[in-house]
Each structure stands twice: as C-alpha cells, then as structure tokens.
Amino acid sequence: MERKVVSLKGKELRSIELSDAVFGLPINDDVIYYAINNELANKRLGTACTKDRGEVHGSNRRPYAQKGTGRARQGDYKSPVYVGGGTAFGPKPRDFSFALPKKVKRLALKTILSLKAQDGTMQIVEDFTVESGKTKDFVKKLESIASDKDATRTVVILKDDDADVKRAGRNLPWLSFLSYNRLRAHDLFYGRKVIVLESAVKELNEFYADK
C-alpha cells in the first residue's frame, strides 16, 4: 500500500510504502474493544469506599424494645435504614486492572492503524521539529493540516520522544502525542485526525511486522 507524504503546507512530496501486515488488516471490532476496555480499566483508581453498619460510629443500643411495640425489630441506629447508618453493599477499594494478552493488544493496535489508513483520517507528514518549544510556533507549523478551529481530536505519532515538539504542543487540549512503540488504543481509535511523521511510518512498518 502506498500513501503520499505531504509537507507542512499540505503539498504532496513523495510516496511511501505502508506494510499490509500493519496498515492493511481487516477490521476486528472485538480486539479493539478489549484493548480499549483494558486501558480504561487499568486507569481506574478504585478508591471509592463506604462504611457498612459495623464501621459506622454510633451506639449499639436498640432504638426501642424488641417486643411489645408492634413495630419491626431493630438492632441499632447503625442499620442502613436509618439516616447516618451504614451503607448496604456499598463500594470498597478494589483493583480494576487486568492483563491483556500481548498478541491481542498488538493485533488491536495494528487493526486501529489499518482502520485509520483505510477511512482516510490518517495523514503522513514530513519530519519536523519545533526548536523554540513554543506553542505558537507549533500551531503555525500545523495550521495547514490541523487546527483547533473545528475542535477535532488530533493525534501525532512520533518516531521518538521529541522534547521540543511535546513541550510546544502540551498546552493544546485537542492534541495528543504518541510514540510509535508506545501507542494507546483509546487515543488512537478516537482520534479524528491521525498525523504520522514520515520517519515514524518506517518504524511502525518494522516494529509491528509479523515475526
């Protein structure tokens, strides 16, 4: 599969080869779901906590006599039926994370890359950097291919951790950065526009190729 490499001005420069094993796979909805669900579950803190009737501070005295009142028997004021009593079946701190097989995760990322390449939301751009590290300079470079005017969620895939580029773009709420070897299924799938640097394409072809 061949795609055009464009300049920061949007002009076509040359063609680049995309590996069919990475960008030409059929869409597998199941593995995409599992990968995104795994990432979201691993991010959950699981710190919600409530007190049951045994943990609530209060008296153990009965509110009234066990018999003779005609009312339902009650043990103490810490029962969930009373205001200020314990919570019945409330949440407790827990770990929501779970392990996903590496092959499933890898297949999900390749499937999402194939999806973005096939639906036209992926654009391959020549390599660039922002020496000043300033946001205004970064926005000026991308104004022809991506901007916040339409509030699109844009993902930029880099070859490596370019500190200058990341520093320049970290203040933009509609933009997120990913490295070719540390992709996130959630960000990549929900990105309405995916910008891949030319050098990152070559790394993706090799890193996610079937071994």
Q: Where are the domains of the chain?
A: 2-27+101-207
Q: Give the tokens for residue 120.
A: 């036209």
Residue 108: pLDDT over 90:
yes
Task: Report the pLDDT averaged over residues 96-101.
Answer: 95
Determine the Cα–Cα distance for residues 51 and 84; give it in Å rounded to an integer: 10
For the stretch 179-189, pLDDT in tens is 999 999 999 99
- Of 30-39, 96-105, 115-124, minimum mean pLDDT range: 115-124
Residue 113: pLDDT over 60:
yes
Helices (H) and strands (E) in the chain, counts: 7, 6
| Residues recorded for the chain | 211
Task: Report the pLDDT averaged over residues 122-126.
Answer: 91
- Of 11-15, 96-100, 160-164, minimum mean pLDDT range: 160-164
CB 194 within 8 A of CB 188: yes
- 138: nearest Cα among 177, 163, 166: 166
Residue 127: band (very low, low, confident or very high) from pLDDT cuts 50, 70, 90:
confident
What phi and psi, each to the nearest 5 degrees, are found at residue 43? -85, -15
The confidence score (pLDDT) of residue 139 equals 86
The confidence score (pLDDT) of residue 151 equals 52
Residue 198: pLDDT over 70:
yes
Q: Give the tokens for residue 153.
A: 């969620």
Q: Give the tokens for residue 139.
A: 């926005």
Most confident range, picked from 21-25, 40-44, 115-119: 40-44
What per-residue string of b and e applies to 22-50 under the rule 16 or more CB within 10 Å gives b? bbebeebeebbebbbebbeeeeeeeeeee
The mean pLDDT value of the chain amounts to 90
Class of domain 2-27+101-207: alpha beta
Strand duo 2-6 + 12-17: pairing:
antiparallel
pTM of the model: 0.83
- CB atoms near residue 182 (< 10 Å): 8
Residue 149: band (very low, low, confident or very high) from pLDDT cuts 50, 70, 90:
low
For the stretch 48-62, pLDDT in tens is 999 999 999 988 999
